[in-house]
């Protein structure tokens, strides 16, 4: 992550609808599949807002990130056990010690995501789980993805393949962020024809629009089990060891 993007995350992660909605979704899944207390590692900690929330829920949290700026900032937020570490290298935790691993929009940033999942598998207890979000639809790959440092976007088949190669079974899998898909299609199509974006940023929205998008995300969460969400800009999954 570019340090300037971290600055934006610090400013937005508490309130911007995309971050808040994703955090609420993962907390809901954690409560269902790996409830606190327990040992939790988040890879790719960003501004640390998620780790703060997970800690308040009762998890003993650890965080890894490539950016020393992220690690320093998260320590200032009161989370001590965070460190600079490449997720593709063996993880500095005891084998079989973790109850949960959280990888939110991380795997698309690494060259070898299966290696990352291998390390997660080795670190988890016998019934441990990994909670993952990734961008969906490879045909949507655009300059936005390149600027964010993405190597790929995911299909359901590719998501399942990487999980299977790492020894996991997919316990739960859905799309999310369906309600902004039409707008994203229009914007990405326009940008492919008329590229103007010079750096990745989060579209600014009014307070009213932010609240409406949070309401839409809450309604979507209610539909994720029955009937499920058939389309969306991201995939969210739970892998069980």
Each residue's pLDDT tens digit, 196-219: 655 656 778 999 999 999 999 999
pTM score: 0.93
Q: What domain count does the chain have?
A: 1
> Distance between CA 130 and CA 148 in Å, rounded?
23
In the chain, count H helices and then E strands: 9, 7
pLDDT per residue over 77-94, tens digit each? 999 999 999 999 999 999
Which CATH number goes with the domain that contains 151? 3.40.50.150
Is the peptide bond prior to 86 cis by the omega test (within 30 degrees of 0)? no
The token pair that represents 226 in the structure block: 């029955």
Quote the percentage of the chain above a pLDDT of 70: 91
Average pLDDT over residues 231-236: 97
In this prediction, residue 183 carries a pLDDT of 86
Domain span including residue 203 = 3-240
Split at pLDDT 50, 70, 90, the class of 190 is low
- List the structure tokens of 172: 């739960």
Please tell me the distance from the alpha carbon of residue 120 to that of residue 87, in angstroms, as a whole number.
Answer: 9
Q: With contact defined as beta carbons under 8 Å apart, do 40 and 98 qualify?
A: yes
Instruction: Name residues whose C-beta falls within 8 Å of residue 93's C-beta, 6 or more positions apart in sequence.
Output: 39, 41, 62, 123
Sign of CA dihedral 81, 17, 9, 140: positive
């Amino acid at each position: 992550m570019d340090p300037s993007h971290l600055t934006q995350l610090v400013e937005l992660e508490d309130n911007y609808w995309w971050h808040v909605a994703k955090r609420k979704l993962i907390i809901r899944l954690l409560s269902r599949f790996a409830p606190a207390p327990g040992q939790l590692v988040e890879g790719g900690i960003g501004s640390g807002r998620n780790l703060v929330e997970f800690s308040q829920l009762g998890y003993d949290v650890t965080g890894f990130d490539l950016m020393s700026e992220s690690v320093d900032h998260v320590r200032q937020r009161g989370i001590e056990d965070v460190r600079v570490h490449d997720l593709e290298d063996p993880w500095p935790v005891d084998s079989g010690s973790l109850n949960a691993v959280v990888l939110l929009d991380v795997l698309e940033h690494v060259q070898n995501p299966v290696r990352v999942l291998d390390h997660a598998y080795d670190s988890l207890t016998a019934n441990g789980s990994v909670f993952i979000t990734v961008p969906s639809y490879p045909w949507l790959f655009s300059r936005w993805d390149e600027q964010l440092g993405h190597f790929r976007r995911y299909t359901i088949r590719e998501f399942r393949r990487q999980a299977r190669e790492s020894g996991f079974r997919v316990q739960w899998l859905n799309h999310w962020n369906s309600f902004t898909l039409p707008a994203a299609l229009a914007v990405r199509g326009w940008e492919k024809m008329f590229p103007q974006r010079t750096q990745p940023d989060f579209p600014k929205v009014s307070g009213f629009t932010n609240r409406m998008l949070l309401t839409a995300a809450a309604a979507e969460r209610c539909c994720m089990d029955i009937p499920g969400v058939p389309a969306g800009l991201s995939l969210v999954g739970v892998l069980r060891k």
